Chain A
Amino acid sequence: MRPLTLRRLVLQCSILVVILFVVVVIALKFGAVPVSLYALGRDLLRVVFGQSSQISSDYGLIVVNIRLPRILLGIIVGASLSVAGTSFQALLRNPLADPYVLGVSMGASLGSILALIVEPHLTISPLLAALLTPLGAFLGAAATITAVYFLGRREGQIDSATLLLGGVIISSFLSAIIMFLMNTLSGNLRGLSFWLMGDLSTPLHKSAYWFLGIGFLLATGAIYTTAADLNMLLAGEKEAMHLGVDVPRVRLVVYIAASLLTGLAVSVSGAIGYVGLIVPHAMRFIFGSDHRTLLPTAALCGAIALVFADTLARTVVAPTEVSVGAVTAVVGAPLFIYLLRRRFP
């Protein structure tokens, strides 16, 4: 492991920020309604010079009020899923772990749905009601990762194959419960089938972006404080303990923070798979497995990947939209199989 310098970290992140900016511009330009690069550039310049009032309302509404919120959501969700995936992979010492494969996303989905079912029967303030879905998603995610963790443990050590199988079984069990709820409670849950596959198309209230952004920064910050410990965990839990790592504390912090990230992402966008699996791999391949580099670069690359996937989702058969979860699965599942074959020959 090469020693980390601040200069190299800043350089690596700057490169990714530039790529993210380019992808955002592409995502702003392409969509069901054509917008010229000239109009886009002119409007961007006007924003920079504080003349936003001169932006033509025609494309302004589409680019600013539809595409931009969606891109913002893609950035936050993509980054959240990637950081959660990186954390799970480190903590479980399993490169195939990710919120989706482990069933954590499905747990968060079930939590959201239960919150949606319970909400009308509660007399609480609108603010609390709005927080109920992300809270349910967080609790669902946390409960699932706990269950998967205990399923995957054998004689004090985590067994990779058992862990993954446990995740798959729990995931299908949870999705069966979701199917049961959707079949028996027809009506308001019907639209959920679209959300379940992963969907970024619904603009949120402005405050929700702040809520998501702050939640992301807090959870990622908490995980980042354990980055050096995660590096030592790569050698094994016992070894890390001998090196002075407070493993139970790290485990608690990272599980809670990663569940929070998954819960927040799922509560607004459904279960989008494979972003949290593939992105950390790519970053580890390019920048090495030092978590102090891996966490921020995975966050940025996750944002890039999901914004790009969502741009594909809304343009390939425009104006009809494909679920973004379908796009990430089409790309991610073959990569998952490749990684699986390489790991278990």
Chain B
Amino acid sequence: MTLGGAIAALLSWTVATRAQSGSSISAASPTFREVTDEAGRTVRIPQPVRRIVSLAPSLTETVYALGLQDHLVGDTDYCDYPPDAQKKTKVGGGINPSLEEIVSLHPDLVLVTKKFNRLETVHALETLGISSYATDPHTVDEIITSSKKLADVLGAPEAGASIAEVMQQHLSNLQEHIGALPPKRVLFIVWTQPLISVGKGTFIADALRRAGAVSVVDSEQDWPQVSLEEVARLQPDFLVLADSHSDSASPAVEVLATLPGWGIVDAVGNRRFAVISDAVNRPAPRIVSAIEDLARQLHPDAFVEKPKSSNERIEKENPPPGQRPASHDSYSPDALEGYLTIPGGQACAH
């Protein structure tokens, strides 16, 4: 057999079996629903969605928050929250997932984000007859609506509505505390060497605004590289770092203080750091707890114990939903984190 002949035979094989495999998929799931995703694509999604593969940590977190973790059959190497997500079948990284692994999981739907996954991956899935749905939130409000819409697509609209309500409630309660205060000028540090911060169009910049802060970096770029000189010129009140182990002694901060050149930044000399959970890096419901945590660190005075009457006044003006225990009105980030991820926590304990 010549090379040309071999290639021709293999090509005809491709054509023949592609047609065959396509028909077997539609036979297995007869009903489809057409939705427009946040990348503007019209996608056909098999109904009901029983098998989900997530290609971004934020989407994995959202699936858990919606209580749909039993339908999650695969996620990425970077999906580490809640801890139970680490036990799911891994399909590789978000940028270069293994298509084979995804196919072998027989997903009804693959979840992607427009920002962190590659367009080529989506095209490849399309060619293989696998539906994908893209999210693309740019603000905290859009994270809420995006989660809600995703819940709807996944067939859990009630869970989506209640998550959205909890998030809104927490944010508006937070607004009660710090809304009137002047925002702190902060530098959000994505990466230290080189120094990378966030642009104004990112959801992180919006999360900072919600926490009573404003980024000193005003860039059109999403992930601008900033020089130390520029930081020294801007002199932020606080440096904000996200750490996956924010509860530990924050070694990242200590390292930062010893880096050459950082002494010219006043906030370093004055130890004006705010270390929050890396949930702030993920456009998922848990970001609200990171926002609350940051607000508490930047505006501690706004959170000192108020007289009981004041608390009651707030509750009267913003009655919490009936099903929600009163304890959730306390501004403990842990409480929210627990609420938003109870399903994962339980699954982990089992």
Q: Chain A residues in contact with chain B, CB under 8 A?
A: 17, 20-21, 31-33, 47-48, 52-53, 55, 57-58, 60-62, 64-69, 72, 75, 183-184, 186-188, 191, 194, 199, 201-203, 205-206, 209, 213, 300, 314, 318-321
Contacts A72-B7, A202-B120 given; does A55 touch B20 at CB 8 Å: yes
A33-B101, A201-B99 known, 14 other contacts, Cβ within 8 Å: A17-B3, A17-B6, A21-B1, A32-B101, A62-B100, A64-B17, A65-B14, A72-B10, A194-B95, A199-B96, A203-B99, A203-B127, A300-B3, A319-B97
Chain A nearest CB, measured from B163 CB (Å): 29
- Tell me if B249 counts as interface (CB < 8 A to partner A): no
Complex contact B223–A186 (CB within 8 A): yes
> For residue A194, which residues in chain B have a CB less than 8 angstroms away from its CB?
95-96, 118
Q: 23 A-B Cβ contacts within 8 A? A: A17-B1, A32-B92, A52-B20, A57-B21, A57-B25, A58-B104, A61-B103, A65-B14, A66-B103, A67-B100, A69-B14, A191-B119, A194-B118, A202-B123, A205-B127, A206-B14, A209-B11, A319-B100, A320-B77, A320-B90, A320-B92, A320-B93, A321-B98
Q: Which residue of B lies closest to A185 (CB)?
A: B221
Q: Which residues of B contact A183 (CB under 8 A)?
A: 225
Q: Taking the nearest CB of chain A, how far is it from the CB of B314, in angstroms? A: 41
List residues of chain A with CB within 8 A of the CB of B123.
Answer: 202
* In the assembled complex, B270 has its CB within 8 A of some CB on chain A: no
Q: How far is the CB of B154 from chain A (nearest CB, A)?
A: 24
CB-based contact B221/A319 at 8 Å? no
Which residues of chain A are within 8 angstroms of B24 by Cβ–Cβ distance? 57
Interface, chain B (partner A; CB < 8 A): 1-3, 6-7, 9-11, 13-18, 20-21, 24-25, 77, 90-93, 95-101, 103-104, 118-121, 123-124, 127-129, 221-223, 225
Please indicate the chain B residues that have their CB under 8 angstroms from the CB of A21 in the complex.
1, 6
Q: B22 CB to closest chain A CB, in angstroms?
A: 9
Q: Which of B9, B17, B95 contacts A191 (CB 8 A)?
A: B95
Cβ-closest chain B residue relative to A209: B11
7 tightest A-B contacts by CB? A319-B98, A191-B118, A52-B16, A32-B98, A202-B120, A319-B101, A319-B92
Q: How far is the CA of A340 from the CA of B92 in the complex (A)?
A: 38
A199 to B77, CA, bound (A): 20
Contacts of A191 in B (CB 8 A): 95, 118-120
B20 partner residues in chain A, CB cutoff 8 A: 52-53, 55, 57, 60
A59 and chain B: residue at smallest CB distance: B104
Expressed in whole angstroms, the Cα–Cα distance for A47 and B18 within the complex equals 13
* A48, B14: Cα distance in complex, Å: 13
Q: Closest Cβ of chain A: how far from B226's Cβ, in Å?
A: 12
Closest to A50 in B: B16
List of B residues within 8 angstroms of A319 by Cβ: 90-92, 97-98, 100-101
Q: Tell me if A65 and B96 are in contact (CB < 8 A).
A: no
Cα(A72)–Cα(B7), bound, Å: 8
> For residue A62, which residues in chain B have a CB less than 8 angstroms away from its CB?
100, 103-104
Known A-B contacts A53-B16, A65-B128; A187 and B7 likewise in contact (beta carbons under 8 Å): no
Evaluate contact between A64 and B98: CB separation under 8 angstroms.
Answer: no
Residue of B nearest to A322 (CB): B96
Asked whether A47 and B13 contact (CB < 8 A) given A33-B100, A57-B20, A319-B98, the answer is yes
A314 (CB) vs chain B CBs: closest residue: B98
Q: A199 — which chain B residues lie within 8 A by C-beta?
A: 96
Closest to B130 in A: A61
- The listed residue (B1, B13, B90, B92) touching A52 by CB distance below 8 A is B13
* Contact A68-B14, Cβ < 8 Å, known A191-B118, A319-B101: yes
Using Cβ atoms and an 8 Å threshold, which residues of chain B touch A53?
A: 16, 20
**B residues within 8 A CB of A55?**
17, 20
B17 to A, closest residue via Cβ? A64
B223 and chain A: residue at smallest CB distance? A186
Given contacts A62-B100, A203-B127, whether A68 and B10 have CB atoms under 8 Å apart is yes
> In the bound complex, what is the Cα–Cα distance between A320 and B78 (angstroms)?
11
Chain A positions within 8 Å of B120 at CB level: 191, 202
Cβ B96 vs Cβ A320 within 8 A = yes
Residues in B with CB closer than 8 Å to A184 are 221
What residue of chain B has the Cβ atom nearest to residue A58's Cβ? B104
Given A55-B17, A61-B103, A202-B120, are A318 and B127 also a contact pair (CB < 8 Å)?
no
By a CB distance below 8 angstroms, the chain B residues around A66 are 99-100, 103, 128
Shortest beta-carbon distance from A317 to chain B in Å:
9
Inter-chain CA distance A107–B266, complex, in Å, is 45
A48 to B8, CA, bound (A): 12
Tell me the bound Cα distance from A309 to B91 in angstroms. 21
In the bound complex, residues from chain B placing their C-beta under 8 Å from that of A64 are 13-14, 17-18, 21
What is the CB-to-nearest-CB distance from A82 to chain B, in angstroms, rounded to a whole number? 14
Q: A53-B20, A319-B91 are in contact. Are A33 and B104 (CB under 8 A)?
A: yes
Across the two chains, which residue of chain B brings its CB closest to A183? Answer: B225
- Give every chain A residue within 8 A of B18 (Cβ-Cβ): 64-65
Given contacts A32-B101, A187-B222, contact A65 B21 (CB under 8 A): yes
Task: Collect the chain B residues with CB atoms within 8 Å of residue A69's CB.
Answer: 14
When distances are taken between beta carbons in the complex, the residues of chain A under 8 Å from B95 are 191, 194
| Closest partner residue, chain A, to B104 (CB atom) | A33
Residue from A57, A60, A187, A203 in contact with B124 in the complex, judged by beta carbons closer than 8 Å: A203
When distances are taken between beta carbons in the complex, the residues of chain B under 8 Å from A33 are: 100-101, 103-104
**A contact residues around B225 at 8 Å (CB):** 183
CA of A66 to CA of B129, assembled, Å: 12
Complex: how many Å from CA A184 to CA B120? 22
- B residues near A314, Cβ cutoff 8 Å: 98
User: Which residue on chain B has the smallest CB distance to residue A76?
Assistant: B7
When chains A and B are docked, how far (Å) is the Cα of A107 from the Cα of B171?
Answer: 51
Alpha-carbon distance A187/B219, docked complex (angstroms): 14
Q: Which residue of A lies closest to B97 (CB)?
A: A319
Measured CA separation A206–B16 after assembly (Å): 13
Task: Give min CB distance, A211 to chain B, whole Å.
Answer: 13
How far, in whole Å, are A331 and B97 apart by their CA atoms in the complex? 24
Assess the A31–B92 pair: CB atoms within 8 A: no
B118 — which chain A residues lie within 8 A by C-beta? Answer: 191, 194
The distance in angstroms between the C-alpha atoms of A69 and B24, with both chains bound, is: 20
Which chain A residue has the least Cβ–Cβ distance from B16?
Answer: A52
Chain A residue at minimum C-beta to C-beta distance from B125: A203
